[in-house]
């Protein structure tokens, strides 16, 4: 599979949808990759099956608050430096790289690094969506170590962080990230192809392209792009639960950059006559949606805010008072919902005071 | 030279004096080293001249707020882990270790590591006193890099931090230190014997032993131990300026653990009839002494607070309301007073709003 100028916009828009408010601004992500293509570079995306079992593969990403990353878009050079440092530490050459998550920037950056280095990007990641913390991956749930974690900035500072627990790596790398200005480039979770295929989320890049295409086609046909997306997810091939939870406008927004994260909550009032209010809490990503105080969707199920007219995904740092949005929820595959997975990135992983209830068992709200 | 049970107390007391309020609690330092001796271990201290020019040598230390270190005394194991990690990173074996500074714990810890590993400790360090920050060394002034900086805790987390500037290493390692609980073990400033001898402060361990002996002998002879110390420093062999600046008791004390440091100021009122007040600012170490608002001693010259009766050095975290103390100042050697050195650890290095004036050019206060 190729990502090139013909499907770049679809890919980025879909990646931003799966980013559930986080993973970075899709506009920035598009510029980053476009810049590579305009310089004549290309990137090869491997299907998971194309990755050899014994191939060395590693995740690359930007860590940081989206509010900061928007001001200081990664060039990829420090990301490549992190990758090379990882190779030096392990005494090996990687045969492929992978995203750690979906999202406007973190879904795109591995492709930028692929274009810069010539390494293929395999369509496997550790979240299948975006989460704010390093240990919130299916790799971690499966017991794979993120170490060594390489952290680099663009002032020639680079750190190698090794920890017994991946949550300690998050804790330590985040502190470096904050002192590097709220953003840093990382390489982590080095592993073999077999481990990635067995424990990762497969096909997030190709799913992103499909999501983007559904939105684009619906817009072109002047249909309801949000409804088209819901139908796409509910269709037989994908087979997930999906629903429009709310149709409203933002009447209150609290957001701050705290401990290196963009943290807050957004409050919406109904526009479609259904009444009521929806409140969504976020930490880089949307975590928990409540309608009139009652939970209607929660991590790890996807909560996405889309422009009411165009279904353009809106990231948490781009939320504004008065925006008219639809709130969409989509269920996640079973690998994300095991007891162990929920401990890591379910409500308990975020210290949210609710028990996890799958989306399909919650009151559907509007419909 | 040997440090053993016969001169341990002298050494520790002298190291605490040179620690100028920082470098760790001497009581803890004594217990650490005593524990090694009681287990039958010994440590060999090399004179600087005994270190081969091409020998590999590295500094080991505890980074952290003294208030934290007193609660969690380093065992030496994580320090050894940091040393071994440094060897692995550089692909070499060290032939000697050295202290980075004087002080109750950081003067002692290298000897503990020496006892644990069998490596000799060379009598060279980067401060000749104690300073709170990693870049505040004569090695840095001479342009030597502290990288790679190894940071380890006792929960199996270990980081390798490489930076272009040593001040960036301080900034990044401090953040790891804070998240490791306010204390971590480090190895840094790897170098060759020639570099250490040319750019370090020589003889701090042996000077510590002498200082401790002067205090002990004066106490035994029921003399004025503080005056004996001043006479010792002013004597022909040492040839430094030294003076008792103030004789008083603590009437006010502000101290907090901020950004990983123990920061504050202590205010004393005169007890000897000379009148006036003395205020001393500190950041782990005593930085600036003012008498009735007028500077009377400042970094890098030594400012030490000693028990009024016994001349026992008192560290900043052990200051208490009502303590009766004498404030002593001692000049530092020319290597610490060059223009470049003052930029790093003179008043400007601490953002103090005074221009550096050598102790001997300041009004002597009491005498």
Secondary structure of residue B88 in the 3-state scheme: helix
pLDDT, residue A258, reads 87
| Whether residue B252 is found in the same domain as residue B184 | no
Of the residues A155, A185, A202, the one at which a domain ends: A202
The answer to whether B81 faces chain A, any CB pair under 8 Å, is no
Q: Which residues of B touch A155 (CB under 8 A)?
A: 163-164, 168
| Whether residue B272 is found in the same domain as residue B353 | yes
Assess if residue A223 is contained within a domain: no
Q: Copy the structure tokens of residue A260.
A: 């290196």
A189 close to A137: Cβ distance less than 8 angstroms: yes
Q: Which of A156, A159, A178 sits opposite B159 (nearest CB)?
A: A159
Size of interface A-B (CB pairs under 8 A): 55
For the cut 80, the answer to whether the pLDDT of residue B365 exceeds it is: no
| Whether residue B47 is found in the same domain as residue B111 | yes
- Residue B143, phi-psi category: left (phi > 0), alpha (psi -120 to 50), beta (remainder): left
The answer to whether A254 faces chain B, any CB pair under 8 Å, is no
Query: Hey, of B175, B177, B184, B188, which one would you mutate to test binding to chain A, going by the most A CBs within 10 A of its CB?
Result: B175
Burial B96-110 (b: 16+ CB within 10 A, else e): bbbbbbbbbbbbbbb
For the cut 50, the answer to whether the pLDDT of residue B157 exceeds it is: yes
pLDDT, residue B71, reads 87
pLDDT, residue A272, reads 86
Answer yes or no: do A175 and B176 touch at CB < 8 A: yes
Identify the weakest region by mean pLDDT among A283-292, B62-71, B142-151: B62-71
Chain A: give the shortest CA distance to residue B66, in Å: 21
For the cut 80, the answer to whether the pLDDT of residue A364 exceeds it is: no
The dihedral over CA atoms of B76, B82, B85, B89, expressed in degrees to the nearest 10, equals: -150
Question: A-contacting residues of B 160-219, CB under 8 Å?
Answer: 160-164, 168, 171-172, 174-176, 178-180
Residue with tokens 């210290």: A351
| Whether residue B263 is found in the same domain as residue B310 | yes
Backbone angles phi, psi at A143, to 5 degrees: 90, 10
User: What is the C-alpha to C-alpha distance for residues B167 and A178, in angstroms, rounded to an integer?
Assistant: 16
| Whether residue A38 is found in the same domain as residue A138 | yes
Answer yes or no: do A160 and B155 touch at CB < 8 A: no
Which structural domain, as residue segments, surrounds residue B311?
Answer: 240-361
For the cut 70, the answer to whether the pLDDT of residue B248 exceeds it is: yes
Question: Which run of H or of E encompasses B250?
Answer: strand B242-258
- Which residues have C-beta within 8 Å of that of residue A92, sequence separation ≥ 6? A56
Answer yes or no: do A158 and B162 touch at CB < 8 A: yes
Assess if residue A19 is contained within a domain: yes
Assess if residue B152 is contained within a domain: yes
For the cut 60, the answer to whether the pLDDT of residue B366 exceeds it is: no
How high does pLDDT run on average in chain A?
A: 95
pLDDT, residue B346, reads 97
Domain count, chain B: 2
Question: How large a percentage of chain B has pLDDT more than 90?
Answer: 91
Backbone angles phi, psi at A284, to 5 degrees: 60, -55
Give the DSSP letter string of A171-187: HHHHHHHHHTTSEEEEE
pLDDT, residue A275, reads 86
Q: What angle do CA B171, A146, B65 make, to 5 degrees?
A: 30
Q: What is the pTM of this model?
A: 0.93
The answer to whether B146 faces chain A, any CB pair under 8 Å, is no
CATH number of domain containing B291: 2.40.390.10
Question: How large a percentage of chain A has pLDDT more than 70?
Answer: 99
How high does pLDDT run on average in chain B?
A: 95
- pLDDT tens, A184-220? 999 999 999 999 999 999 999 999 999 999 999 999 9
- Which residues have C-beta within 8 Å of that of residue B309, sequence separation ≥ 6? B324
User: What is the C-alpha to C-alpha distance for residues A23 and A285, in angstroms, rounded to an integer?
Assistant: 8
For the cut 50, the answer to whether the pLDDT of residue A68 exceeds it is: yes
Q: Copy the structure tokens of residue B92.
A: 């070499």
Task: Name the DSSP class of B47.
Answer: P
Answer yes or no: do B175 and A176 touch at CB < 8 A: yes
User: What is the C-alpha to C-alpha distance for residues A224 and A215, in angstroms, rounded to an integer?
Assistant: 9
- 3-state helix, strand and coil shares in percent for chain A, rounded to the nearest 5: 35, 30, 40
Answer yes or no: do A179 and B161 touch at CB < 8 A: no
pLDDT, residue A183, reads 95
Assess if residue A176 is contained within a domain: yes
Backbone angles phi, psi at B158, to 5 degrees: -145, 140
- Which residues have C-beta within 8 Å of that of residue A168, sequence separation ≥ 6? B155, B157
Query: Hey, of B91, B156, B157, which one would you mutate to test binding to chain A, going by the most A CBs within 10 A of its CB?
Result: B157
**pLDDT category, A69, cuts 50, 70, 90?**
confident
Assess if residue B228 is contained within a domain: no
Q: Which of A159, A164, A178 sits opposite B160 (nearest CB)?
A: A159
Secondary structure of residue B98 in the 3-state scheme: strand
Assess if residue B121 is contained within a domain: yes
* Sequence-ordered strand ranges (E) for A156-270: 158-162, 183-192, 201-202, 242-258, 261-270
Q: Is B365 exposed, middle or buried (0-12, 13-18, 19+ CB in 10 A)?
A: buried
What counts of helices (H) and strands (E) characterise chain A? 11, 16
**Bridge pairing between strands A294-298 and B45-46:** unpaired
User: What is the C-alpha to C-alpha distance for residues A103 and A20, in angstroms, rounded to an integer?
Assistant: 8
- pLDDT tens, A74-85? 989 999 999 999
Of the residues A179, A202, A225, the one at which a domain ends: A202
B247 close to B274: Cβ distance less than 8 angstroms: yes
Assess if residue A221 is contained within a domain: no
B193 close to B54: Cβ distance less than 8 angstroms: yes
Chain A: give the shortest CA distance to residue B303, in Å: 32
Alpha helices in B24-165 (DSSP H): 26-38, 66-69, 77-90, 109-117, 138-141
Chain B: give the shortest CA distance to residue A250, in Å: 37
- Residue A313, phi-psi category: left (phi > 0), alpha (psi -120 to 50), beta (remainder): beta
| Whether residue A57 is found in the same domain as residue A162 | yes
pLDDT, residue A52, reads 98
Q: Which of B155, B164, B171 sits opposite A168 (nearest CB)?
A: B155
Assess if residue B214 is contained within a domain: no
| Whether residue A51 is found in the same domain as residue A103 | yes
| Whether residue A248 is found in the same domain as residue A180 | no
Answer yes or no: do A171 and B161 touch at CB < 8 A: no
Q: Which of A156, A164, A175 sits opposite B179 (nearest CB)?
A: A175
**pLDDT category, A121, cuts 50, 70, 90?**
very high
B324 close to B261: Cβ distance less than 8 angstroms: no
**pLDDT category, B115, cuts 50, 70, 90?**
very high
| Whether residue B69 is found in the same domain as residue B181 | yes
The answer to whether A156 faces chain B, any CB pair under 8 Å, is yes
**pLDDT category, A367, cuts 50, 70, 90?**
very low
What is the distance of C-alpha A61 from the center of its chain? 11
Chain B: give the shortest CA distance to residue A353, in Å: 25
A102 close to A129: Cβ distance less than 8 angstroms: yes
- Cα radius of gyration rounded to whole Å, chain A: 19
For the cut 90, the answer to whether the pLDDT of residue A71 exceeds it is: no
| Whether residue B115 is found in the same domain as residue B39 | yes
For the cut 60, the answer to whether the pLDDT of residue A337 exceeds it is: yes
Query: What pairs with residue A250 in β-bridges?
Result: A268
| Whether residue B181 is found in the same domain as residue B37 | yes
Task: Name the DSSP class of A275.
Answer: -
| Whether residue B335 is found in the same domain as residue B281 | yes
- pLDDT tens, B293-325? 999 999 999 999 999 999 999 999 999 999 999
Answer yes or no: do A179 and B164 touch at CB < 8 A: no
CATH number of domain containing B69: 3.40.1610.10
């Amino acid at each position: 599979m190729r990502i090139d100028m013909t499907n770049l916009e679809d890919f980025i828009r879909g990646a931003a949808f799966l980013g559930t408010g986080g993973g970075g601004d899709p506009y920035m992500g598009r510029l980053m990759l476009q810049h590579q293509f305009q310089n004549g570079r290309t990137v090869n995306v491997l299907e998971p099956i194309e990755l050899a079992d014994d191939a060395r593969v590693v995740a690359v990403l930007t860590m940081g608050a989206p509010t900061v990353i928007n001001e200081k878009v990664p060039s990829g050079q420090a990301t490549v430096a992190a990758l090379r440092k990882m190779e030096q530490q392990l005494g090996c050459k990687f045969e492929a790289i992978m995203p750690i998550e979906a999202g406007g920037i973190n879904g795109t950056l591995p492709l930028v690094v692929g274009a810069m280095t010539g390494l293929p990007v395999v369509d496997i990641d550790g979240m299948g969506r975006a989460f704010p913390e390093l240990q919130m991956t299916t790799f971690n749930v499966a017991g794979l170590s993120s170490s060594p974690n390489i952290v680099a900035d663009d002032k020639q500072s680079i750190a190698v962080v090794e920890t017994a627990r991946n949550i300690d790596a998050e804790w330590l790398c985040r502190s470096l990230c904050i002192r590097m200005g709220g953003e840093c480039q990382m390489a982590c979770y080095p592993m073999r192809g077999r481990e990635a295929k067995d424990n990762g989320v497969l096909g997030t890049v190709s799913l992103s392209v499909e999501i983007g295409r559904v939105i684009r086609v619906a817009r072109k046909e002047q249909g309801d792009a949000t409804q088209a997306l819901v139908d796409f997810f509910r269709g037989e091939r994908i087979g997930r639960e999906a629903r429009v939870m709310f149709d409203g406008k933002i009447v209150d927004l609290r957001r701050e950059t705290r401990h290196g994260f963009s943290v807050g909550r957004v409050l919406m009032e109904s526009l479609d006559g259904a009444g009521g209010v929806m409140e969504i809490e976020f930490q880089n990503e949307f975590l928990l949606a409540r309608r009139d105080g009652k939970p209607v969707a929660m991590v790890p199920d996807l909560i996405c805010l889309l422009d009411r007219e165009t279904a353009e995904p809106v990231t948490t740092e781009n939320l504004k008072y008065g925006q008219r949005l639809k709130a969409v929820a989509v269920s996640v595959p079973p690998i994300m919902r095991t007891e162990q997975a929920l401990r890591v990135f379910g409500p308990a992983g975020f210290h949210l005071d609710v028990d996890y209830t799958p989306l399909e068992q919650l009151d559907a709200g509007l419909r």
